[in-house]
Amino acid sequence: MAYEKCAEVSREIWQDLQAQDPGEVTPRTGAVFREGLYHLAFLDRKLLIDPAGRQVQLDGAPGADPGFRVCLIALLYLLKVDIAALGPPISPLELPGGTTFFQERGPHNLPAAPLEVRFGKDVAAFLAAGRRRQAEPRPAGDAALAFQVFPGVVVEVILWLADEEFPAQVSFTVPANLDRFWFLDAVLGLLDVVTRELLKAADL
């Protein structure tokens, strides 16, 4: 069964975060800790993370559930990532074990197909959706967007448009060394979040 809601994040992960010293977490991640909450930049918005209350809220939308994937990777970011140790952009396939884990026809395939279907013949919509999430255009493919998902964690989405000979193609980059802090399933969760946010932004 797929998890969908923030409340479905493991209790153990929350307990681990509550046990962390905010004075160690904030310089390592770029988050801010104030009045019992971590304030964490997330794309064009901000997450408010309450370790004691085990809640994640979008700033300005307290009743909205950010969803399981957003909450999970935000907590794993605060728990594990050291942005000073992240490296330049590389393909997820270049991460150790990436070619085995991210198999095209396996359960961990990269989430390129929905983006290829939606934007494969519409570069203008791709770029407009990126602007809504404060993505930075990059000179790659026919168009590329770099999303700062969290401070220091940039995911690039590269689009090659469909033509008479070839179908559309999308690829991703993530920071090198991300595997030092996350298992590859968390990297996949990060890419799923970016894909969902880009598709949602296209419909605004």
- At 105, list the tokens: 């026809």
- Residue 39 one-letter amino acid: H
Q: What residue segments make up the domains of the chain, in order of their start? A: 6-80, 89-202
pLDDT score, position 60 = 87
Percent helix, strand and coil across the chain, each to the nearest 5: 40, 25, 35
Summarised one tens digit per residue, pLDDT across range 57-86 is 999 887 889 999 999 999 999 999 999 999
Q: How buried is 126 (Cβ within 10 angstroms: 0-12 exposed, 13-18 middle, 19+ buried)?
A: buried
Q: How far apart are CA 64 and CA 112, in angstroms?
A: 27
- For the entire predicted model, the pTM comes to 0.94
Burial of 148 (0-12, 13-18, 19+ CB in 10 A): middle
Q: State the pLDDT at residue 81.
A: 98
- Within the chain, which residues score under 50 in pLDDT? 1
Q: Would you state the pLDDT for residue 4?
A: 86
Q: Which residues contact 129 (CB under 8 A, 6 or more apart)?
A: 119, 198, 199, 201, 202, 204
Could you tell me which of 73, 62, 81 has the C-alpha nearest to residue 20? Answer: 81
Sole residue written with tokens 């939308």: 61
